[in-house]
Structure 1
Amino acid sequence: MQLGIEGRRAIVCASSQGLGRACAEALAAAGCALVLNGRDAEALAATADAIRAAHGVAVETVAGDVADEQVQAALVDAAGGAPDILVNNNGGPPLRDFRAIDRDALRAGVEANMITPIRLTQRVIDGMVERGFGRIVCITSASVKAPLAGLDLSSGARAGLTGFLAGVARQVAQADVTINFLLPGQFATRRLDSVHAAAAEKQGVDVAEAARRGAERIPAQRYGDPAEFGAACAFLCSAKAGYITGQSLLIDGGAYPGIL
C-alpha cells in the first residue's frame, strides 16, 4: 500500500533504538525525511547512518532529553520549522511500588510522559492546521488500558496525556490533522530484557525460562516484533488514515482480555 506521505517531514522522539526506531524505519520506508532524537549521541548517529543507507532519505539528528525545551525547539527547527508528522515517545519510569514514589519522582514521571508530549504538540499543531495536514502519534503503553502494579506512575501520566490530547484531536480534525495513540504490549526490545531479568529473579529461574513463561501468557504465544509496531505507526501517519483520530490502538498479541 502506498501511504501517500513521501517527502513529508517527520519528528520521531526517542528513536535511536526500540519502538521509536521501528517507527522511524517504517516512516523512512514510506519516503519521509526524518528528524531523530535520543540522549546517546553516538547511538543516535549510528541509527541515522543506518536509516540513510537503507532508505535513501534525509535524516537529521538532535541529541538530548526531549523534555528539555531547547531540544524541543531544535527538533522543530531541524524539520524546517514545519513538521508534518510528530511521533511522541519517551521512556517510562522504572517499576516501583507506588508507596516509594516521592514528590520529585511524581513530577519527573508526569513531566516525561504527559507534559513533554503536550508541549511538543503545542509547538507543531498550528502549523499543521494552517497547511491542512498533520499526523501526531503518541506512543503510550498497554498499561493505560490495563494498569499494572509497579507501573502506576507511567499508567497515570500516560492516561492523563491520552485524555488531554483526545480532546485536542476533535478540535483539529477538520484540518486533516489527527492525533492517535499506540499502546504497546510486550515487544522484543531492550526494555523487555530488563523485565525478564526482574521476573527471573522473582521466580527463581534463569532469564530464558522467565522469557518463555512470559510468552506463554500471551495468546499469540510470542513477543511483538518492533517492525510490526512501526508499520502500525506509519499507517496512522499516512494519508490513508485521515478519518482515524482520538483513538488508542492496543497492540499486545491479544493479552488484554476485554472487548473495549
Structure 2
Amino acid sequence: MDLGLAGKTAIICASSHGLGRACAEELARAGCRVVLNGREAGPLEDTAASIRAQTGAIVEIVAGNIGDPGVQQALVQTAGAPDILVNNNGGPPPRGFRELDGEAIHAGLDANMVTPIRLVQQVVDGMVERRFGRIVCITSGSVKSPAAGLDLSSGGRIGLHGFLAGVAREVASANVTINFLLPGLFATRRLGGVMAFAAKAQSVDVETAEARGRERIPARRFGDPAEFGAACAFLCSAQAGFITGQSLLIDGGAYPGVL
C-alpha cells in the first residue's frame, strides 16, 4: 500500500533504538524525510546510517535529551515544517511506588506527559495551516492495564492521553490527527529492565520470568518492533485521516478486556 507520505517530514523522538527506531525505519520506507533523536550521538549516527542504507531516505539527527527545551527547538528547526511527530520517551525504570520521592515523580511526569505536550504545541499550528498533520504518541499498555512497579509510567501517560484527547478533536477538521500506540511486551532494551523487576518480585531468575511473561500473552511471544513500526506508519498515512483520538493497544492479546 502506498501510504501517501512521499516527501513528508517526520520527527521521531527517542529513535536510536527500539520502538522509536522501528517507527523511523517504516516512515523512511514510506518516503519520508526523517529527523531522529536520541540521547547519545554515537548510536544515533549508527541508526541514521543504517536507515539511509536500507531506504535511501534523507535522515537527519538531533542528539540530546528530548526533555531539554533546546533539543526540542533544534528538532523542530531541523525538520523545518514537520508533517509528522512521533512522540516517544523512555519510561521511568520499574520501582515500587513507596520508593518514589517528589523529585522522581516530577521527573517521570515531565518525561512522559509534559515533554510530549510541549512538542505538540510547537508543531500543531503549522500542521493546521498546511491542512495535514499526523501525531502519534507512543505510551504503554499499562495505560489500559496498570501494573505494579510501573505506577509512575502509567500515571504520566494516562495524563497525556487525557490532555491530548481534547486537542485531537480541536484540530481534526484541519486533517490533523492525534493518536496513541500502546505497546505491550516487545523485544527491546526496555524489556530487560521489566523482566529483571519481575524476576525480583517473583523470586525467580530472569529466564523464568521471561518464560512466564510469554506464557501470559495469548500470542505466546514478545512483539517484534517491526510490527509496531508498521502500525505507526499506517496511523501517519494519508488513509488514516478519519482516525483520531484513538488508543491502539498492541500486546498480542494480553489485555483481557473488550474496551
TM-score of the pair, normalised by structure 2: 0.98
Alignment match, 1:35: 35
Amino acid at match of 1:36: L
Matches within 5 A, 1:214-233: 214-233=213-232
Q: 1:213, CA displacement in angstroms?
A: 1.8
Alignment match, 2:138: 139
The 2-side partners of 1:174 and 1:61 are apart by 32
Render the CA deviation track for 1:128-187: whole Å, top value 9, x for unaligned: 000000000000000111111111111111000000001000000001000000000000
Matches within 5 A, 1:46-85: 46-80=46-80, 82-85=81-84
Percent identity, please: 72
Structure 2 portions without partners, runs of 5+: none
Q: 1:249, CA displacement in angstroms?
A: 0.4
Secondary structure of the 1:93 match is: coil
Render the CA deviation track for 1:58-93: whole Å, top value 9, x for unaligned: 01100000000110010011112x100000000111
**Is 2:115 the partner of 1:116?**
yes
The 2-side partners of 1:111 and 1:39 are apart by 16
Q: 1:200, CA displacement in angstroms?
A: 3.3
Q: 1:193, CA displacement in angstroms?
A: 1.7
Q: 1:209, CA displacement in angstroms?
A: 2.8
The 2-side partners of 1:21 and 1:218 are apart by 24
The 2-side partners of 1:78 and 1:246 are apart by 27
The 1-side partners of 2:163 and 2:6 are apart by 30
Amino acid at match of 1:53: A
The 2-side partners of 1:152 and 1:203 are apart by 18
Q: 1:98, CA displacement in angstroms?
A: 1.2
8 Å contact kept, 2:94–2:194: no
Alignment match, 1:252: 251
The 2-side partners of 1:152 and 1:205 are apart by 22
The 2-side partners of 1:217 and 1:53 are apart by 38
Matches within 5 A, 1:1-260: 1-80=1-80, 82-260=81-259
Tell me which stretches of 4 or more aligned residues in structure 1 moved more than 6 Å. none
Q: 1:202, CA displacement in angstroms?
A: 4.1
Secondary structure of the 1:112 match is: helix
Secondary structure of the 2:126 match is: helix
Render the CA deviation track for 1:18-72: whole Å, top value 9, x for unaligned: 0000000110110100000000110000000000010001011000000001100
8 Å contact kept, 2:97–2:149: yes
Secondary structure of the 1:60 match is: strand
Q: 1:204, CA displacement in angstroms?
A: 4.4
Q: 1:123, CA displacement in angstroms?
A: 0.2
The 1-side partners of 2:98 and 2:152 are apart by 11
The 2-side partners of 1:149 and 1:167 are apart by 28
The 2-side partners of 1:161 and 1:201 are apart by 30
The 1-side partners of 2:136 and 2:73 are apart by 19
Q: CA RMSD in A?
A: 1.0
TM-score of the pair, normalised by structure 1: 0.97
Structure 1 portions without partners, runs of 5+: none
8 Å contact kept, 2:94–2:193: no
